[in-house]
Chain A
Amino acid sequence: MEREEIIDKINEFLVEEFEVEEEVIEPEANLKETLDLDSLDYVDLVVEIESNFGFKVNPEDFAGIHTFQDFYEYVINKAEAQSA
């Protein structure tokens, strides 16, 4: 899957599942604040990643993710590692 395709897919499930307007999703915006995430919501991010990309991640990994760009890179790296 190409980078842009992954990013589009992520944005799509964030808009659908976390009910934000697409316009508020900016690469440098803060993920937690923009999506108004609490600790429980990270569990659902894990569920969404698994159901969209077919691999499992740990909720703890989100500690190092601040912006949407961080989140994209994290998923892209995991996707690449999976297909490698």
Chain B
Amino acid sequence: MNRVVITGIGIYSSIGQNVDQVKDSLYHGKSGIGIDPERTEMGFRSAITGVLPQPDLKGMLKRRQRVGLADQGEYAYLATLEAMKMANMDEDFLANDNVGILYGNDSSAKPVIYATDQLRLKNDTTLIGSGSIFQSMNSTVTMNLSTIFKLKGINMTISAACASGSHAIGLGYTMIKNGLQDKIICGGAQEVNYHSMGSFDGLGTFSMRVDNPAEASRPFDRSRDGLVPSGGAATVILESLESAKKRGAKILGEILGYGFSSNGDHISHPNVEGPTRSLEMVLEQAKMQAKEIEYINAHATSTMAGDLNEGKAILNVFGKNQPYLSSTKSMTGHEMWMAGASEVIYSLIMMHNGFIAPNINLENPDDELKDLKFAFNVIEKDFDLFLSNSFGFGGTNSSLIVKRFKD
């Protein structure tokens, strides 16, 4: 079995569009949440969302390479460029080596709606344009990035709701561990627009704190009233230890375990048993005791049931040995298909800079969760081992354990 290490990370998010910016936001507890006036205009109950600039890739990519990219593909391209640079992999390297891509993505609503609007308006399918189909499919990110970077290995999108990005890393880890591939660009991407969020808003899932968006996402706080949708893209380059050493790559961390489970229960209402099994599995896979974990980056999205049930699962598994716990979604909002990958990056940034990011807006935790060891404020701490949780609709659960690399 191969050891699997991380040799590059790249991020494009509401709290920063590169690793350095994100590091500052995490340390200072800076929120990336704001109001989208288009959502107000479209009759959303809540217009609160993560806010990030739309990249302009003209001049960076040729027209044919750009027209197939949906919003989240543009974020993913920039995140991947940053990760490649860190991993010391240039475009020639990618084109001539055997590198794969496994990226999480679970919607591409805007181009689908745009195409349908055009068709209704023009009654002519040609007038939808040539890029639409490549922007509309769930595999839009992997089909575009694999073409742009001329990748020759595994090429696939992982769709697993809000655990997509985490499963993408878990599956990449599994492939490299088993010797099927040496290097895989993993990650997660999430479109940020009203098109993809209307029906989610209609379910009453989003926070209604429109007067104070920065305080809207408050995981584990008693006064939480719903999640805040957000997005962007996060790229995590995985590699076998042997390959990383051969290339002389800087190693940012080692993946020690991937745990997963399905609730087998309600489509949207989370339970305690499913996440508990995912946590138990990842510890078993990593051959670790619960007490060895130093930090958990929670899935907690700021919903009443989700945060409570995750907290209970963590209490079940970690008992009296509670690691520090925070949900970075308090700052980023819920990055959904991207979150499992971005939160591994956020945790890696903390591990390399000696701090634990705060769970901002957490003032009064639920009574049942008082024994959890929350990071209410930023904590200066060197640590070597963290666990990242991601759960999604349909009861899909994923947990990853990452350790600072030691030979």
Contact = CB atoms under 8 A, between A and B. Distances in A.
Interface of B: 58, 62-64, 67, 122, 124, 126-127, 129-131
A41 B130 contact: yes
Nearest to A39: B130
B64 A43 contact: no
B98 to A, nearest CB: 26
A43 B130 contact: yes
Contacts of A18: 63
B322 to A, nearest CB: 55
Interface stretch (A21-29, A44-52, A71-79): A44-52
Contacts, number: 32
Given A43-B130, A44-B67, 8 more contacts: A17-B63, A19-B58, A19-B63, A40-B130, A47-B126, A50-B127, A56-B124, A56-B127
Contact of B126 (A17, A41, A46): A46
A22 B126 CA distance: 27
A14 to B, nearest CB: 11
Contacts of A59: 126
B129 A43 contact: yes
Sorted from nearest, which 7 A-B pairs have the closest CB atoms? A43-B130, A40-B130, A47-B129, A46-B126, A44-B130, A19-B63, A47-B127
Contacts of B58: 19
Contact of A43 (B62, B63, B122, B126): B126
B152 to A, nearest CB: 21
8 contacts: A18-B63, A19-B58, A40-B64, A41-B64, A44-B129, A44-B130, A46-B127, A47-B126
A46 B58 CA distance: 22
Contacts of B127: 46-47, 50, 56
A50 B122 contact: yes
B130 to A, nearest CB: 4
Interface in A30-47: 38, 40-41, 43-44, 46-47
Contacts of B62: 19
Contacts of B126: 43, 46-47, 56, 58-59
A38 B64 CA distance: 9
A17 B67 CA distance: 11
Nearest to A51: B127
Nearest to A59: B126
